[in-house]
Amino acid sequence: MSNTQPAPVASEHIELKARKVSFDWRETPLHWVPGDPFTTHTINVLHLLLPAGERWFIHVYKQVLPYITDDRLREDVIGFIGQEAVHSQAHDDVLPRLKELGLDPTPYTAQVDWFFEKLLGDKTLPPGRPRRWWLMERVALIAAIEHYTAFLGNWVLNADELDRRGCDPAMLDLLRWHGAEEVEHRSVAFELFMHLDGGYRRRVRTWALAFSALVFFWQRGARFFMENDPTLLDGKASVGQFVRKGREGVLPSTPDMLRSIPRYLSRDYHPSQEGDTEQAAAYLAGSPGANGGR
């Protein structure tokens, strides 16, 4: 059933647990990266994509649980489901604050919901091979998306420029708590895919779909926020701004993002090669939001 798996770089195994979190949005300003609406809104796209996206992960993984023949992996998947459920809810909870500040995300989230619930939903395929094929396709898609959530998690944990710019502490904590848990559970989706299928062509195909969808939704979301920001007369989002902000260190750098592509497509890839579990654990131990709020 399973393919030959590239080994993790360390023999560490972490018991994944969902942490109770609490974030207070009352003081969070519209431009929580001060004076930088483009960076604020580019990162804000996470609040639009993640609630529906992570609910969809859970929906797919619950269907997959009966196929898992490795007890430890099943435990990891259950822990993963618990963490993603909290992530989805925590980002959802930011949306009322955005609305209060004059940014109604509903028209955009409706499109994202349609994408995950209908286009990537269960479909009415006949039982047997077609249904199993579609399930495995989605398991592989989640592994590809989790390559990027781990990439972003690792980035935000190290994005010191966001501190220097005086970003809103609650938002930074939400992003880093989430990022740290993404680093913590970064191997689960890939190991599950390798356990259940692991086909290389499927990995490449679903990476291409995941990457295209992320780029498509991200640029549309950033444009949506910039155009609807009540304080901007002619808000625009462009690739040039993204590249520039990446160079400044307030967004992931474009060269780093491009370099992450061949890593995922390498036959030796294992997610544990990226990110730092100890750094993630250290952040989680001190995160105000994950330790009773502030």
Binding site for Fe ion (CB under 5 A): 84, 87, 149, 182
CB closer to Fe ion, 84 vs 274: 84
CB closer to Fe ion, 31 vs 87: 87
CB closer to Fe ion, 143 vs 226: 143
Residue 84 CB, shortest distance to Fe ion, in Å, is: 5
CB closer to Fe ion, 84 vs 173: 84
Residues 55, 61, 63, 65: what is their CA dihedral angle, to the nearest 10 degrees? Answer: -150
Q: What is the DSSP string of 57-104?
A: HHHHHHHHGGG---HHHHHHHHHHHHHHHHHHHHHHTTHHHHHHTT--
CB closer to Fe ion, 44 vs 149: 149
Q: Which tokens sit at 74? A: 């099943």
Separation of alpha carbons 61 and 68, rounded Å: 10
What one-character DSSP code corresponds to residue 241?
Answer: H
Residue number closest to Fe ion, CB atom: 87
Residue 164 CB, shortest distance to Fe ion, in Å, is: 26
Cβ contact 194:269 at 8 Å: no
Separation of alpha carbons 215 and 212, rounded Å: 5
Residue 134 CB, shortest distance to Fe ion, in Å, is: 21
Residue 255 CB, shortest distance to Fe ion, in Å, is: 24
Residue 66 CB, shortest distance to Fe ion, in Å, is: 21
Residue recorded with tokens 């294992």: 270
Cβ contact 33:71 at 8 Å: no
Cβ contact 36:248 at 8 Å: no
Residue 236 CB, shortest distance to Fe ion, in Å, is: 29
For residues 165-188, one letter each, b for 16 or more C-beta atoms within 10 angstroms of the residue's C-beta and e for the rest, the string is bebbbbbbbbbbbbbbbbbbbbbb
CB closer to Fe ion, 31 vs 88: 88
Cβ contact 144:207 at 8 Å: yes
Residue (of 8, 6, 20, 14) closest to 287 by Cα position: 20
CB closer to Fe ion, 237 vs 280: 280
Residue 276 CB, shortest distance to Fe ion, in Å, is: 16
